[in-house]
Amino acid sequence: MTVPAAARGVWCEHALLDGRGVCAAVRVEVDAEGYVHSVVAGVPAQDGDVLLHGVAFPAAANAHSHAFHRALRGRTHDRGGTFWTWRSTMYRAAAALTPGLYEELATAAYAEMVTVGWTSVAEFHYVHHHPDGTPYGEGDADDAGPHAMELALARAAVRAGIRLTLLDTCYLAGGFGKHPEEGQRRFSDGTAERWLERLASLRASVSALYPEHQVSVGAAIHSVRAVPEDQLAVIAEHLPPDLPLHIHLSEQPAENDDCLRATGLTPTGLLRRHGLVGNRLSVVHATHVREDDIAALAAAGAVVVLCPTTEADLADGIGPAGDFREAGARLALGTDQHAVVDPWLEMRALEHGERLRTGRRGHFDPEALHGIAALGGAAAQGRRGAGFRPGSAADFMAVDPHSARTAGSSREQLAYSATGQDVTGVVVAGVLAARNGVHTVLGDPADLLVAAIARLDEATEAQDVPARDHQTARDHQTAGGS
């Protein structure tokens, strides 16, 4: 087979090769489209090769992200609380977002992902409209135009050099039998039909602007509590069959209880009733599923997206990852609310969760963990996974095996000891994207995050002032009336 003229090389000091363990001096030929053409071990680097020092692994694919949640890190942990109290803080941040703010914050969040080894991301996106629910493109002269928020995310991903699967999300209700709350109005299109129309328009806009390997559009149903059953039926009938479909599923016991009361079925059972459980479906969390739900999802070939650090942070519980694996389900990892943005810690948390759940060690060996992080996440996005084999995406992450955290570790077991701090280089499509925690184009993501979060804070504070003034006026009226 002839190597394309536009091919480039990536040389790895060491690399984990399928079935061969960690090999030295591995050179990867990358074709013009950014996919692996050939892999040879025990050879020197060539002029112009990207050099990866340490031990290289297939890069990770982030199967679940809410980019703006990054602004909440370190701010929702005091005074206890629950998932539901955390959610109210999240709604305040969502209400303050503008297309410009969202692009800035998402660029910073995606740059952070890239520097630690995430090279693709499934963005579960539902902040579609103006805060009052008016669609972009139907406002005043200063309106940012149709799909303003979605295109802001696309631009952010391109700037950060991360492959984006934009999961446009249907979000219509505030719960079973409930209208959207005030903080949810900008999420809703009103009906599934209108959401499907906007989704089709968004797909056309994105495909006209970006190649699919860079930015693609998928679909999501926020949850069974956020999309009424009659609207699920519309989606099942009319959603294009080629799109990946994601949903938050059985994240909270309350969701299961409400669904059982409203429909007589578990959330998984409700999706099955409408033919939505299949091999294009990715279910996020699935923390509180029943045995029959696990069997149904596995039999259908669905991907189960686990977010261990988020599930721990929000006290959601420890999901049955081992049971899903034994049933034959495909597993993937996501960072969700970004309390942690580190594929190494997510991999380790997956194994540790199973140890805590079962009282036994050794559920997911390192090879399995890297497969879940790279291939499972890519499957959830409908993308080719990263790896050291021809046809794989040429996306790699290398770590230092001699840091304070990894010193003494077996090279094959770095998944149990390394963190994002140990990443020495990240390659996306054969191109160096980050070196030693610094993005090659955008610089230190910490600087981007500090600036973006400060601007979002200003916007959040500005929106809170009218609300406080309105409440003060109401208090005065009440006091005067008594």
Q: How far is CA 18 from CA 27, 364, 368, 394, in A?
A: 15, 16, 11, 14
pLDDT score, position 116:
98
Percent of the chain surpassing pLDDT 70: 94
pLDDT score, position 402:
98
pLDDT at 476 exceeding the cut of 50:
no
Q: Domain for residue 332, yes or no?
A: yes
Q: Report pLDDT digits (tens) over 143-191.
A: 688 999 999 999 999 999 999 999 999 999 999 999 998 889 999 999 9
Confidence of residue 142 (pLDDT cuts 50, 70, 90): low
Distance in angstroms (rounded) separating the CA atoms of residues 122 and 348? 21
Q: Domain for residue 159, yes or no?
A: yes
pLDDT at 417 exceeding the cut of 50:
yes
Give DSSP secondary structure letters for 387-401.
-SSTTSB--EEEE-T
For residues 52-59, average pLDDT: 98
CATH classification of the domain holding 211: 3.20.20.140
Q: Of residues 479 and 239, which shows the higher confidence score?
A: 239
pLDDT at 467 exceeding the cut of 70:
no
pLDDT at 378 exceeding the cut of 80:
yes
pLDDT score, position 6:
54
**Do the bridges between strand 21-30 and strand 36-41 make them parallel or antiparallel, or are there none, so unpaired?**
antiparallel
Q: How far is CA 110 from CA 52, 116, 160, 383, in A?
A: 21, 10, 6, 18
pLDDT score, position 183:
87
Q: What is the pTM of this model?
A: 0.94
Distance in angstroms (rounded) separating the CA atoms of residues 89 and 473? 24
pLDDT at 473 exceeding the cut of 60:
no
Phi-psi region of 429 (alpha: psi -120 to 50; beta: other; left: phi over 0): left
Q: Domain for residue 20, yes or no?
A: no
Q: Domain for residue 91, yes or no?
A: yes
Instruction: Please return the burial class of 260, using the count of CB atoms within 10 Å of its CB with bins 0-12, 13-18 and 19+.
Output: middle
pLDDT score, position 86:
81
For residues 423-440, average pLDDT: 98
Report the chain's mean pLDDT, rounded to a whole number: 93
Q: Are 306 and 350 in contact (CB under 8 A)?
A: yes
Confidence of residue 1 (pLDDT cuts 50, 70, 90): very low
**Coil, strand or helix: which one is 443?**
strand
pLDDT score, position 465:
60
Q: Domain for residue 217, yes or no?
A: yes
Q: How far is CA 359 from CA 104, 307, 325, 355, 416, in A?
A: 44, 20, 17, 5, 18
Confidence of residue 4 (pLDDT cuts 50, 70, 90): very low
- Cα distance from N-terminal residue to C-terminal residue, the chain: 88
pLDDT at 302 exceeding the cut of 90:
yes
φ, ψ dihedrals at 144, nearest 5°: -80, 0
Active-site positions?
A: 285, 336
Give bridge partners of residue 216 from the DSSP assignment.
Answer: 165
Lowest pLDDT segment from 42-46, 325-329, 460-464: 460-464
Q: Domain for residue 236, yes or no?
A: yes
Domain that holds residue 206: 58-387
Q: Domain for residue 298, yes or no?
A: yes
Give bridge partners of residue 23 from the DSSP assignment.
Answer: 15
The count of structural domains within the chain is 1
Confidence of residue 3 (pLDDT cuts 50, 70, 90): very low
Q: Domain for residue 155, yes or no?
A: yes
